[in-house]
Amino acid sequence: MEIDVASDSGSEGRFVCFSLSLLLNQVYSFTFCGLYYYEARRRFRKVRAKPQRKFKPVSDQEDDEDDEEDEAPRKRVRKKKVKPRDSDEEEDNQSVKRKSSKAPRKKAKEESEEESEEEREKRRKRGTDLSKKKKEDQNKEKKGNVKGKPNKNMGGDHDKKKKSGKLSSSSSASSISGEESLSEGEIAALKEQVEEKKKLIATLRNKPWRMKKRLVLLKDAQGFVETFEGALGKGKGKKLYAFKVLMTKILMGLPYGSIPRKTVPREEQDTAMDFSVLIDFGVRKVAPCSNLHSFDAYLYQQGFCKYSFLFYGYYNNDRTIGVLKFRLPLSYLLVGVGIFGYSLMVVIRTMARNSNEGGDGGEEGEFTFSWKMFTSWDYLIGNPETADNKYASITTSFKESIVDEQENQKDENIHLRRFLRVLANFLITCTLGGSGYLIYFVVKRSQDFAKMQQEKLSWLEKNEVEFVMSLLGLVCPPLFETIAELENYHPRIALKWQLGRIFALFLGNLYTFLFALFDEVNEKLEKEKSIRNATIWNLQQYHANYSSYFNTTDVPPPNVSPADVIRGPCWENAVGIGFVKLVVSDIQVSYLTILVGDFLRAVIVRFLNYCWCWDLEAGFPSYGEFDISGNVLGLVFNQGMIWMGAFYAPGLVGVNILRLLSSMYYQCWAVMCCNVPHERVFKASRSNNFYMGLLLLVLFLSVLPVVYTIMTLSPSFDCGPFSGQDKMYDVVMETIEQDLPSFLANIFTYATNPGLILSAVLLMLLALYYLNAVSKGYQRANLDLKRKMKMARDEEKNRRNNKDSTNQVMKDLEDLLPNKCLIPPPIAEEPAPLDAVITKGSKSPKIKPGAAVKGVNLQKDVSLAAPNPRAAVTCAPRPRGGPPGNSRGPQPGPGRGRGQGRPPRRHEL
Amino acid sequence: MGNKQTTFTDEQLEAFQDCTFFTRKEILRLHGRYRELAPHLVPLDYTNNPDIRVPPTLIVTMPEFKENPFRDRIVETFSEDGNGNLSFNDFVDMFSALCETSPRELKTIYAFKIYDFNRDNFICKEDLKKTLNKLTKGELTPEEVTLVCNKSMEEADLDGDSKLSFSDFENMVSKAPDFLSNFHVRI
């Protein structure tokens, strides 16, 4: 960037002189263009073609450069504005002129292209020129370079800087022309520039500039990068291509029907593919059904799904499969556990990002009115009806805030309110407890039912658990809402309470269900033992019989069809089935609710309204409201069920994806056709950490039981990938022992030593404590800074008269005023003498910000920046230069975007 | 744009892609929308960058802005001449700044410009009043309006000069939970 700085900050006279010498030296320079022979030739031709242009575009070229370095022109413009600008007219004129010169964009483009080339050439030539003329300067330059690098932004004395900048430009240019040996520093500087340009290109879209300016800048920067990057031997930029590792096969192991666990047992085969049975995959059957003619009999068979890949039992326990030695049991375990880890990471990261963005409402109440004013309108609204709703809701919310504000002063009967709140909480706790007990009772009863004759049970009795759970989920939330009326909380707080309660209800129900399930699992484990013993005994019998009959010790395995093998109860499958049933019934209930509760209601309200005694639409039933927060909560809860169930029923994930996809369209339809917007819109956006917090809690709570079963219960002996192991995690141990080098196994043994783990936990606790303390400290510091900032702002008002606004954002803001983006900056003046500055300093206090005429002029006088470092001007202002990249780049030195080179005199030696 | 005729050169498209948050397809779509507004005015062929501006009265009829109480201000802010006449560059610029991917800083700057009705780079009480009246369709009583304006000024004005500078505005908006999701137009 220094090149540009230098050429830009150069005074007019110098510039002309330079270009003259450049022209003279043109020929020389071309002879040196080793690397860029071709390009040079091209350019040479161009220049030859119109040699007279060379001089004329001086101003033009300056424009161009100025565009490239947005800093410079602005600063100069500003400088000029020290004298109060008479009006916009001048500016308008300028811009008009400019426009007329640039209006035909094609021409402008062409020009800029040529100009940039010329410019480059000039730089190069300047280099040769200088290098010839001033040998001794180069020594200086090197010094300057070395020195100048770290504080490039700060800059030295402006005169000096100009020189060193020029010199460095010369040197970099010469380095390209290959005339002299390249010093590393120069290459580095050039590289830096290229990087800066690249960064500019990458961030261009984030800048608040007019599109025209952006396009011009982009062109320049691209030209620069292309030219110099090649010179640095980098090519078009190295791109890293990520290689995708493709699984050649999805290895599921043996296909259906090859081994017992993948086969439907003989007695169930007749009915396994019937549709009703497919849906009814879960029902446990004890006795083979004798009465095949009765319809009920079909219903109670076990379905095909139970033996499909949807469930745990389908997967085998072969250590490795296929040529690739795919370790199915190991990957099953690792994926199952890895999903938890990944989900945890995603949730935590989202939460962290949300809180970084400050959108978690931590400072609620600080900006009630201003937020309502500036951020409440949803720019997405394009529908007149929605717009009307929004207007109304904004008006109400303003009115409510006003009332709140007025009520803040009043105090009321606090005892009554407290009593009511306690009462409400008591009632809700009772409801929660009752629902928990109900579920426990029902689950217990269903276990009794399972032992009875299936045919005797009605549909209701068989599906009682799911039915009751769904019903509770349907009835309780409205009940809570009614009770919450007692509390008389602020709506937002009330909503959170409500959501918290519903959440507690869901979770309580789920956990009760889970405990009941555990009872069943233990029962099954008992049963499994006896079946296992029986099987072993049978096998021994078979062996004994076979050897005695054929008189041989070489006994072949018994020839039994996979469908006829005796098998254990496989508790894992039972758990998986439980969850799948839960999810499926949840889907059914929610779909039915929408159909009945929303659609039917809407139809009735709409059409019966013609012949009813009161207004149905405005009165009692009215249309259903779309309850955003409730729906989000439903999603959260659903996700929890998936997390819990996915380990024992991998297919659940797929089922859930289908459910989510279909429910998106279904609910979309329902919302569009039969719902009215919620009276009080509460944003349930992603940026809300409340929901993310709930999700995190759910995740934690669903990990618990799964990890518990993995760590403590022993897997079934004849089903699932872990069959035959004592514990599920033995798979990992086995892999470590057999497939990894022994030293790794040793390391693992050490790492799992309780002593080590304990100390690690201790360390983590200490770190937690430390970080907590640190964050508290930061909070305090934050508050402190806020106070200081306020003080500083007050102070700053006194210094407002200092015009030289140095804030980048402020400049951009000014720049966005109509017709200002491309104003040619005033020609750089000669560095003002020191006394001029003094007069300026003494004059400025007279111009008061408020007293400025009006409108556009005003902002010129007032700085948005933090206390202006230039308050006390001690040195001559220099025409500032500096490309945009510079001001934003990670340059050393404080005050980014602030006056490019605040030249501390001591830097210049 | 199923036409064989090219609307933009590759170079132009790439430049637009670098300068905005849009893809090639979206830029072409934007051009289609732009042309839809004034088919007789806007040519299909944009390779030579014709200097054409569409008046604000046409822009605000777009469904994206039709219901927006600040539509005039938006169009004015993004037009280079300040009167709301939008060239295609301005048009793309506008949707780029308002699109979902544009960063908070950029949006804050433009939001500030939009709410600054009198264009003095400060949001003063007059601006607040105008904003409020547009938001509520003038349904608040004058007393309420004054109260709300005073209140929000009190909240957001850190330096106590009874007008909001950009840094005040930025500070206030940066903490707003709904700003990003609300200050966003999808095309």
Does residue A468 have a pLDDT over 50? yes
- Residue pair A154/A902 in contact by the 8 Å Cβ criterion: yes
Residue numbers of A between 402 and 431 with CB closer than 8 Å to B: 402, 405
Q: Do B67 and A386 touch (CB under 8 A)?
A: yes
Residue A301 predicted with pLDDT over 50: no
Which structure tokens are listed for A296?
A: 């009920």
Question: What secondary structure does DSSP assign to A657-686, as a single string?
Answer: HHHHHHHHHHHHHHHHHHEE--SS-----T
Rounded average pLDDT over A802-807:
51
- B184/A376 CB distance under 8 A: no
Nearest Cβ partner for A205 among B79, B83, B96: B96
Q: What is the pLDDT of residue A88?
A: 41
Burial bucket for residue A799 (CB in 10 Å: 0-12, 13-18, 19+): middle
Cβ-Cβ contacts under 8 Å, B103 against chain A: 206
Q: Are B97 and A208 an interchain contact pair (Cβ–Cβ within 8 Å)?
A: yes
Name the residue among B49, B104, B166 with its Cβ closest to that of A106. B49
Measured between beta carbons, the chain B residues lying within 8 angstroms of A363 are 175
B80 interfaces chain A, CB cutoff of 8 Å: yes
A99 CA: distance to closest CA in chain B (Å): 10
Mean pLDDT for the stretch of residues A467-494: 79
Separation in Å, CA of B2 to nearest CA in chain A:
26
Measure the CA–CA gap between A432 and A429, rounded to whole angstroms: 5
Cβ-count burial of A837 within 10 angstroms (0-12 exposed, 13-18 middle, 19+ buried)?
Answer: middle
Question: Between the ranges A156-170, A288-302, A690-704, where is the mean pLDDT highest?
Answer: A690-704
At position A391, the amino acid (one-letter code) is: Y
Separation of CA A502 from chain center: 28
Query: What integer pLDDT is reported at residue A602 of this predicted model?
Result: 86
Distance separating alpha carbons of residues A45 and A55, to the nearest angstrom: 17
Between positions 137 and 176 of B, the ones with CB within 8 A of A are: 137, 139-140, 144, 147-148, 151-152, 155-156, 158-161, 165-167, 169-170, 172-176
Q: Higher confidence at residue A287 or residue A402?
A: A402
Question: Which domains are seen in chain B, by residue range?
Answer: 10-98 (1.10.238.10), 104-180 (1.10.238.10)
> For residue A884, what pLDDT is reported?
43
> Which of A106, A224, A373 is the best substitution to test chain B (most B C-beta atoms within 10 A)?
A373
Predicted local distance difference test score (pLDDT) of residue A768 = 95
Task: Report whether pLDDT(A216) > 80.
Answer: yes
B124 Cβ under 8 Å from any chain A Cβ: no
Q: Which range scores top for mean pLDDT: A134-148, A456-470, A531-545? A: A531-545
Q: Which residue has the tokens 């000024």?
A: B153
CB A807 within 8 A of CB B109: no
Task: Please determine, for residue A103, whether its predicted confidence score (pLDDT) is greater than 70.
Answer: no
Per mean pLDDT, which range of A202-206, A292-296, A728-732, A898-902 is the poorest? Answer: A292-296
Between residues A212 and A293, which one has the greater pLDDT? A212
Instruction: Tell me the average pLDDT across A608-622.
Output: 77
Buried b (16+ CB within 10 A) or exposed e, A45-65: ebbeeeeeebeebeebbbbbb
Report yes or no: B58 and B38 within 8 Å, Cβ to Cβ: yes
Write out chain B residues lying below 8 Å of A206, CB-based.
102-103, 105-106
Cβ distance A826 to A97 under 8 Å? no
Q: How confident is the model at residue A555 (pLDDT cuts 50, 70, 90)?
A: low
* The CA-based dihedral angle spanning residues A87, A92, A95, A101, taken in that order and rounded to the nearest 10 degrees: -130
Sign of the CA dihedral with B154 first, then B159, B163, and B165 last: negative
Show residues of chain B in contact with A851, CB under 8 Å.
none
Section A541-565 average pLDDT: 71
Mean pLDDT of B70-92: 88
Q: Which of A362, A291, A215 is nearest to B92 (CA)?
A: A215
Q: For residues A799-808, give the mean pLDDT.
A: 54
Q: Which of A469-473, A829-833, B109-113, B154-158 has the lowest mean pLDDT?
A: A829-833
Any A CB within 8 A of B69 CB: yes
Please tell me the distance in Å from A231's CA to the nearest CA on chain B: 23
Positive/negative CA dihedral, A199, A205, A208, A211? positive
- pLDDT on residue A563: 62
Higher pLDDT, A881 or A202: A202
Say whether A200 sits in a helix, a strand or coil.
helix
Residue B130 at interface with chain A, using a CB cutoff of 8 Å: no
Report the pLDDT averaged over residues A626-652: 84
**What pLDDT sits at residue A280?**
47
Q: Do B121 and A405 touch (CB under 8 A)?
A: no
Judged by a CB distance cut-off of 8 A, whether residue B23 touches chain A is: no
Provide the sign of the torsion angle of the four alpha carbons A115, A121, A122, A123, taken in this order: positive
Q: Is the pLDDT of residue A61 over 90?
A: no
| Contact of A586 with A470, CB cutoff 8 Å | yes
Which range (A136-150, A220-234, A679-693) has the least confidence? A136-150
For an interface test with A, give the residue of B11, B12, B13, B18 to mutate (most A CBs within 10 A): B18
Q: What is the mean pLDDT of chain A?
A: 66
Closest CA in chain B for residue A354:
B177
Q: State residue A276's pLDDT score.
A: 45
Rounded to whole angstroms, the Cα distance separating A358 from A354 reads: 6
Between A392 and A290, the higher pLDDT residue: A392
Of B121, B116, B93, B109, the closest CA to residue B185 belongs to B93
For helices A491-550 and A571-593, what crossing angle results, to 10°? 140
Residue in A closest to B16 by C-alpha: A215
DSSP characters for A370-416?
HHHHHH-S-TT---HHHHHHHHHHHHHHHHHHHHHHHHHH----HHH
Is A136's pLDDT higher than 50? no
Q: Which residue of A has its CA nearest to B140?
A: A395
Q: Give the C-alpha separation, A865 to A796, whole Å.
A: 9
Give chain A positions within 8 Å (CB) of B72.
none
Reported as type and span, the H/E element at residue A625 is strand A624-625
Residue A613 above 90 pLDDT?
Answer: no
Of A341-345, A720-724, A868-872, the least confident: A868-872
Helix or strand holding residue A172 (H, E): helix A158-177
Nearest-CB residue to B120 (from A368, A821, A859): A859
List of chain B residues whose C-beta atoms are within 8 Å of the C-beta of residue A793: 158-160
CA gyration radius for chain B? 18
Q: Smallest CA–CA separation between B109 and chain A, in Å?
A: 7
Q: Could you give the ipTM of this predicted complex?
A: 0.90
Check residue A373 and give its pLDDT.
Answer: 86
Q: Which of B20, B109, B172 sits opposite A367 (nearest CB)?
A: B172
Report residue A748's pLDDT band, with 50, 70 and 90 as the boundaries: confident
Q: Closest by alpha carbon to A302, among A288, A283, A289?
A: A283
Q: Is A851 on the interface with B (CB under 8 A)?
A: no
Please name the residue ranges forming H helices in A675-822.
689-712, 730-739, 742-751, 754-798, 808-815
The verdict on a CB contact (< 8 Å) between B128 and A376 is no
- pLDDT bracket for residue A717 (50, 70, 90): confident
A311's tokens: 């469930």
Tokens of A886: 């510079």
Q: How confident is the model at residue A797 (pLDDT cuts 50, 70, 90)?
A: low
A107 touches chain B (CB under 8 A): no
Minimal CA–CA distance to A636: which of A567, A684, A578, A572?
A684
Q: What confidence score (pLDDT) does residue A77 get?
A: 41
In this prediction, residues A565-591 reach a mean pLDDT of 80
B115 interface with A at CB cutoff 8 Å:
yes
CB environment B91-106: b (16+ within 10 A), e (fewer): bbbbbbbbbeebebeb
Q: How far is A404 from chain B (nearest CA, A)?
A: 12
Q: Which residue has the higher pLDDT, A18 or A401?
A: A401
Q: Is A821 on the interface with B (CB under 8 A)?
A: yes
Interface test with B, best of A211, A408, A688 (most B CBs within 10 A): A211
Instruction: Give this prediction's pTM.
Output: 0.54
For residue range B42-55, list pLDDT tens digits in order. 888 888 888 888 88
Q: Residue B20: is its pLDDT beyond 80?
A: yes
Hey, what amino acid is at A221? A
Instruction: Find the CB nearest B165 among A205, A376, A864.
Output: A864
Taking 80 as the threshold, does the pLDDT of residue A518 lie above it? yes
Q: Is A510 in contact with A432 (CB distance < 8 Å)?
A: no
Residue (of A214, A216, A198, A197) closest to A206 by Cα position: A214
pLDDT of A252 higher than 50: no
Return the pLDDT at A763: 96
Contact residues, chain B, for A787 at CB < 8 Å? none
Q: Looking at the DSSP assignment, which residues form a beta bridge with residue A675?
A: A624
pLDDT at A867: 42
Closest CB to A210 among B93, B98, B139: B93
Note which residues in 345-374 of chain A have CB less than 8 A from chain B: 357-361, 363, 366-374
d(CA B133, CA B117): 13
A215, A369, A859 ranked by CB distance to B151: nearest: A369
Nearest CA in chain A to B19: A205
* Residue A257's pLDDT band (cuts 50, 70, 90): low
- Give residue A801's identity as a one-letter amino acid code: N
Strands A675-676 and A624-625: parallel
Q: Check pLDDT > 80 for residue A322.
A: no
DSSP collapsed to 3 states, A530-587: HHHHHHHHHHHHHHHHHHHHHCCCCCCCCCCCHHHCCCCCCHHHHHHHHHHHHHHHHH
pLDDT of residue A200: 85
State the nearest Cα–Cα gap between A484 and chain B, in angstroms: 26
Q: What is the distance in angstroms between the Cα of B127 and the nearest Cα belonging to chain A? A: 11
Check pLDDT > 50 for residue A311: yes
The answer to whether the CB atoms of A210 and B64 lie below 8 A apart is no
Query: Does the pLDDT of residue A605 top 80, yes or no?
Result: yes
- Confidence (pLDDT) at A455: 66
The DSSP secondary-structure symbol of A326 reads B
pLDDT > 50? residue A261: yes
Per-residue pLDDT at A30 exceeds 80: no
Q: Is the pLDDT of residue B113 over 60?
A: yes
* pLDDT for residue B28 is more than 70: yes
Which of the two residues, A269 and A240, has the higher pLDDT score? A269
Rounded to the nearest 5°, which phi and psi values hold at A236?
-75, 15
Q: What is the DSSP string of A218-284?
A: HHHHHHHHHHHHHHTT-TT---PPPPPPPPS-----S-TTSSGGGS--GGGTTTTTSHHHHHTTT--
Average pLDDT of the segment spanning A530-544: 80
β-strand A675-676 against B53-54: which pairing, if any?
unpaired
* pLDDT score of A350 more than 80: yes
**C-alpha span between A43 and A135 (Å, rounded):** 28
Residue A384: per-residue pLDDT: 85
Which of A423-427, A878-882, B120-124 is least confident?
A878-882
Reference B56, options B77, B34, B72, B42; nearest CA is B72
CA distance linking residue A47 with residue A54, whole number of Å = 8
Q: Does residue A651 carry a pLDDT above 90?
A: no
pLDDT value for A1? 36
Q: Which of A520, A503, A527 is nearest to A579 (CA)?
A: A520
Q: How far is CA A122 from the centre of its chain?
A: 46
A758 Cα to chain B: minimum distance (Å): 41
Residue A785 forms contact with B (CB below 8 Å): no
pLDDT tens digits, one per residue of A151-191: 444 433 444 444 444 444 444 444 444 444 567 788 888 88
**A794 shares contact with chain B (CB less than 8 Å):** yes
Place A92 in a pLDDT band, splitting at 50, 70 and 90.
Answer: very low
pLDDT value for A802? 52
pLDDT in tens, A768-784: 999 999 999 999 998 89
Dihedral over Cα of A159, A165, A168, A173: its sign: negative
What does the pLDDT read at residue A125?
Answer: 46
What is the DSSP code string of A89-156? HHHHHHHHHHHHHH-SHHHHHHHHHHHHHHHHHHHHHHHHHHHHH-HHHHHHHHHHHHHHTTTTTT-S
Shortest distance between the Cα of A464 and any Cα of chain B, in A, equals 43
Tokens 């340059």 map to which residue? A891
Rounded mean pLDDT of chain B?
86
Partner-chain residue, chosen from A207, A374, A381, that has the shortest CB–CB distance to B173: A374
